[in-house]
Amino acid sequence: MKMFNPAHPGEVLKEAYLDPLNMSVSEFARRVGISRKTASEFVNKRCGVSVEMAHRLALATNTTPEFWMTMQVQHSLWEAKQARLAEQIQVQRLDTVTA
């Protein structure tokens, strides 16, 4: 089943793991062995899940790398579809202006 506007994995990490544990981004970064900047960018949805990050997240959250990668793929595909739809709308608008 396709989801409407799938959550970014960073949002899920924050809401399902960091917030309930009252864990800061800095503490999370230290525990999983990444920079605070990388952790912040991920939690704030400015970057996605890499394969290495998926493994780190899986170990830290007792999940699987596939869980995180699947979430990233769903989110990325949805974003790409939205961008494509927006592009098609722009093209259609240009067509109606020139007709």
Give the right CATH number for 9-72 from 3.30.160.160, 1.10.260.40, 3.30.465.10, 3.40.50.10470: 1.10.260.40
In this predicted structure, what is the pLDDT of residue 34? 98
> Comparing 23 with 87, which gets the higher pLDDT?
23
Over the range 52-87, which residues count as b (16 or more CB within 10 Å of their CB) and which as e?
Answer: ebbbbbbeeeeeebebbbebbebbeebeeeeeeeee
- Give the tens place of pLDDT for each residue, 5-32: 899 999 999 999 999 999 999 999 999 9
- Give the tens place of pLDDT for each residue, 27-73: 999 999 999 999 999 999 999 999 999 999 999 999 999 999 999 99
pTM for this model (two decimals): 0.81
